[in-house]
Amino acid sequence: MNYPPAIIAEAMVNGLLTGSVYALVALGLTLVYGVLHIINFAHGALLTCAMFAVWALVTFTGISPYAAILPLALAFFAGGYVLQRYLIGPASHGDDSNILLVTLGLSIAIENALLAAFHADTRNLEGDFGFQVIELGPMLISRPKLIGFAAAVAVAGLLWLLLARTDTGRAIRAVAKEKLGARLMGIEVGHIYGVTFGIGCACLAVAACLLMPSFYVNPRVGNAFVLVAFTIVVLGGMGSVAGALLGGLFIGMVESLGGLLLGDSLGQLGIFVIFILVLLFRPTGLFGARA
């Protein structure tokens, strides 16, 4: 199988663009893991929720999916905060393994609620998003994916600024490693957990807005993304924000090249081969902290 370089390059660029949205999903997952030390099993269901929200908002109000980014991100931040602070947190009674079960239960509840409300049909946005392409030299680049890439990079940059430059961001990083020390400085751990979970949900909302123009939604769609996101988180190092970003771009490229070389149905094979290799040879991930 010999492909002209232009085709390979196009596949790589498209992979990078898809990967940026994967990275956004992984960012939320890794942030919650890094601070709360739990795998949020509801991440996929919440992404599905966000994608339905985008679909409903665009279909019923006619606004652009990109105009939905800010309001949905804010709404999901608030929803995530409330969910963690007043449901997941209290229900777990301070025990991490309980949080795991609570988020798992939550995902089942959300998925079935969506199934009841929207049935199992697959829906996508009306419009010609899929056909909008931009010519870049010899390459054809999907316009929604290019916008997605730019927005994902901007969100990652904002998140970095928040974590590095604000008191709340510093408190998030402080709580991740030293809860008692943080409490003695007057940092409310419950509040910081809520904010962190809220940021994770806001990342999902943005990802949903960027995905919907070129993807479809049904009540189980989020799980496929979270499986990939989980691979990214393991590859980049559990809890590492930079790892999630680079891992996302890399996995996107692997998937795209895999699809080109092995055919669409086997395209994701490469991702899981990498997943197994990372677990075997570098279980802390590329940017993982020392255990």
Partner 1 sequence: MLDVSGLRAGYGGVEVLRGLDLSVAEGEILAVLGANGVGKTTLNKVLSGVLPASSGEIRFCGETITRASAAHIVAAGLIQVPEGRKIFPDLSVRENLILGSYRRGKPDRARNLEHVLDVFPRLRERLAQMGGTLSGGEQQMLAIGRGMMAEPKLLILDEPSLGLSPLLVEEMYALIRRLNTEGLSIMLVEQNVVQSLEIAARAMILENGACALSGPASDLAANPELKRAYLGM
For the CB of residue 250, give the shortest distance to partner 1 in the complex, in Å: 24
For the CB of residue 109, give the shortest distance to partner 1 in the complex, in Å: 31
Q: Smaller CB distance to partner 1: residue 170 or 220?
A: 170
CA distance 160 to 168: 12
For the CB of residue 288, give the shortest distance to partner 1 in the complex, in Å: 13
For the CB of residue 86, give the shortest distance to partner 1 in the complex, in Å: 17
Q: Smaller CB distance to partner 1: residue 55 or 193?
A: 193
Within residues 155-194, the interface with partner 1 by CB under 8 A covers 167, 170-171, 173-174, 177-178, 180-188
CA distance 203 to 196: 11
Q: Smaller CB distance to partner 1: residue 167 or 264?
A: 167
For the CB of residue 93, give the shortest distance to partner 1 in the complex, in Å: 14
Q: Smaller CB distance to partner 1: residue 187 or 199?
A: 187
CA distance 250 to 12: 10
Q: Residue with structure tokens 């998003």?
A: 129
Is 90 an interacting residue with respect to partner 1 (CB under 8 A)? no
For the CB of residue 238, give the shortest distance to partner 1 in the complex, in Å: 14
Provide CB contacts within 8 A for 186, sequence distance 6+.
none
Within residues 262-291, the interface with partner 1 by CB under 8 A covers 289
**The amino acid at 213:** P
For the CB of residue 180, give the shortest distance to partner 1 in the complex, in Å: 5
Question: What is the token pair recorded at 265?
Answer: 């149905």
Please give the size of the binding site for partner 1, defined by CB under 8 A: 17
Here's the x/- map for partner 1, 230-269, by CB under 8 A: it reads as ----------------------------------------
Q: Smaller CB distance to partner 1: residue 171 or 260?
A: 171
CA dihedral 4, 9, 10, 14 (to 10 degrees): 150
Residues that bind partner 1 (CB under 8 A): 167, 170-171, 173-174, 177-178, 180-188, 289
